[in-house]
Chains A and B, each alone.
Chain A
Amino acid sequence: MGEEVKLIGARGSPFNCRVEIALKLKGVEYEFIEEDLANKSPLLLKYNPVHKKIPVLLHNGKPIAESLVILEYVDQTWEGASILPQHPYERAMARFWAKFIDDKCMSALWNACWSKGKEQEKAIEEANELLKLLENELKDKKFFGGDNIGLVDIVADFIAYWVGAIQEVTGAEVLTKEKFPKLFEWAREFINCSIVKEKLPPRDHLTGFFRIKLEAPDTLKYNPQVR
């Protein structure tokens, strides 16, 4: 059956990476279209006129935007490893934590990594509260999804990988082994999964990108051109 799957994205973006991991998990072949976010293409503006952000999945020409919405779509459309659990209550818990990460953790962690002085102290306190909740939620599981990665692990990719890269550049200590041993271990396991490893952008690309950001502080406000 002729099927056409395209992904409009940006390889440095954790939101983009979520979708690539999901497609890989399901064994879906797709064409990747790299978007220059400083110079948005007519294609992006056509397929995501509402937000004008990446990632956008195109399935047989029909666009789906918003990474969480895309993840649910991918799970329902293709066979293969499950992204969400089977049972309604567990699905609700997965959705709850995925939303928590998106709504609260992303901006809080970003701010904690990039701010300075008193502002950073406060930001790190806030990040600590949130990370503690995640650490507790992980309990003794290898992944949030249990023995295998699931929705929450995928949505937490920023925490597992990007935070470490930013910390390397700024010297911030937001997610450390001492503060959050379980989360730290989870991060290690997550980025070492073969499927994930293949889709993560090279670390030196990220640190290079973040070093440039360090020199341009007015670009540091949390304003993702990605969802």
Chain B
Amino acid sequence: MAEEVKLIRTWSSPFALRIVWALKLKGIEFETVLEDLASKSPLLLQSNPVHKKVPVLVHNGKPVSESLVILEYIEETWKEKPLLPEDPYEKASSRFWAKFSDEKLLPSVWTVFISQGNKQEEALVPALENLQFIEEQLEGKKFFGGEKIGLLDLAIGWMADMVSVLEEVTGLKLIQEDKFPLLSAWIEIFADVPEIKESGAPREKLISKFQAIRDAYAATK
């Protein structure tokens, strides 16, 4: 059956990258529509009128927005190579931690990287606490999904390249191997998965982008 799958995204959005990973891991053919958020396309505005954000998955003309919602949609529509465990409790656990990643972990890590001096010291406290929670989730596991990559790995996958880029830009090593041995090991294995490896945004471009963002924050202080 002729199927049309489009992904509206930007070159750098980590939320959009999750969807690229999911589609590739499931072996789903898709077309990328690159978006310039400074000049939003009619397609984006029509497909996501509520938030006007990326990513948006458009499947046979029907749009789905919000990356975690899209991941669940992909999981339920293309049932091969499941990303979520069968067991409802394990599923709930994945969802809980994916939500935690978006609502607490990512913002706290981001705050560390855009802050300077004392503010950065303060920001470290919740970030390290949140990282510790995630570290504990890897106990006895290779991936967050167990033996294989799962939805939670994709949700936390932004850590795999974004954090090292941010560490380079700021000179601050957040995920120290002795403090977070499991997370450090996971970052390496995750980044090495072929579908992940081939999908990343160009590192130098990311470094320039985040350097510029950090400079802008420093300038507004």
Contact = CB atoms under 8 A, between A and B. Distances in A.
Nearest to B89: A62
Interface of B: 50, 59, 62, 64-66, 68-70, 72-73, 76-77, 88-89, 91-93, 95-96, 99-100, 104, 133
A96 B65 contact: yes
- The winner among B65, B91, B92 for most chain A CB atoms within 10 A is B92
Nearest to B93: A64
Given A88-B76, A88-B77, A99-B69, A66 B99 contact: yes
Given A91-B72, A92-B70, A92-B73, A64 B99 contact: no
B73 A73 contact: no
A64 B64 contact: no
Interface of A: 50, 59, 62, 64-66, 68-70, 72-73, 76-77, 88-89, 91-92, 95-96, 99-100, 133
B76 A91 contact: yes
A64 B89 contact: yes
16 contacts: A50-B100, A50-B133, A59-B89, A64-B89, A64-B92, A66-B95, A66-B96, A68-B95, A69-B92, A72-B91, A72-B95, A73-B92, A91-B76, A92-B64, A95-B66, A95-B72
B66 A73 contact: no
Contact of A92 (B72, B88, B93, B133): B72
A100 B133 CA distance: 26
SS class of chain B's interface: helix, strand, loop or mixed? helix
Q: Which 5 A-B pairs have the closest CB atoms?
A: A88-B76, A92-B73, A73-B92, A76-B88, A95-B69
A124 B100 CA distance: 30
A50 B91 CA distance: 18
A69 B95 contact: yes
Contacts of A88: 73, 76-77
Contacts of A73: 88-89, 91-92
Nearest to A70: B92
Nearest to A73: B92
Contacts of A99: 66, 68-69
Nearest to A97: B50
Contacts of A68: 95, 99
Nearest to B75: A88
A18 to B, nearest CB: 15
A95 B69 CA distance: 6
A146 B122 CA distance: 48
